[in-house]
Amino acid sequence: MINKRLIARLDIKGPNLIKGIQLEGLRKLGDPQVFADRYYAQGVDELLYIDIVASLYGRSKLTEIVRRAARDVFVPMTVGGGVRTVDDVKELLRAGADKVAINTAAVARPDLIREVAQRFGSQCMVLSVEAKQQAPGQWEVYTDCGRERSGLDVIEWVQRGIELGAGEILVTSIDKEGSRSGFDIGLTRAVAAVADVPIIASGGYGIPSHVKDVVNVGADAVAVADALHYNRITLPALRQSMREMDIPVRKVNV
């Protein structure tokens, strides 16, 4: 069985790591490099950096943060926020990113997904989907870090993104983000039903059993933020809990 991945999510505003609830009410936590170093030492499988204001201001501040991280952190890094062109992707990859997550620009111009996949490979193109429930079994895609409605149905958009070349789907539940109440199981199940590429579930982690719940409906990886940032759990402890729940994870010596 394929190992499930533990990903530390780092939301960035300017030079700072921040954390909010439902992508709002932001609190500064400090230098993201300090946190990245900690998670790397604890055996994290991947890092996910998201510039949460890049789409608003039309620019990303992540290049230098990623370049700095790449000197000391040797796990895959996915970077998103403010990525609008193939050249933006090229710059982030040169800085040390392994994959690029795109949401707002892909909604505005879906062909960008194909262009990135053809130039750098589907494994590099992560479709980032910010989802908000509108009715039972129905979710809408939001852009600009959860601020703007797109009118797109999440499931239809995921299908189209995969057809265009997305090699992975990052699904962030706006409703669950920062709630510590568990991942959106219905959302993940619905996405998994139409996706033949890996799915990262983000938003809602509270306790280890939440990981089992979302893995059981199709998640290939989970992105955890505030539980790690606030030291409510360490990565070795979470990895051990997953083993005890019979969830396959990578063996790590820390």
Q: Residue 123's Cα: distance from chain center in Å?
A: 14
Facing residues of 125 across strands? 100
Active-site residue (options: 51, 88, 91, 130): 130
CA atoms within 13 Å, Cβ hemisphere of 181: 11
Nearest to 73, CA basis, from 29, 35, 101, 102: 35
Letter string b/e over residues 63-73, b meaning 16 or more CB atoms within 10 A of that residue's CB: bebbebbbeeb
Determine which one of 11, 140, 220, 226 is catalytic. Answer: 11
130 is catalytic: yes
The CB density around residue 186, as the number of other CB atoms within 10 Å, is: 15
Q: What SS3 class is residue 153? A: strand
Is 46 known to be catalytic? no
Sort residue 140 into left (φ over 0), alpha (ψ -120 to 50) or beta. Answer: beta
Q: Name the residues annotated as catalytic.
A: 11, 130
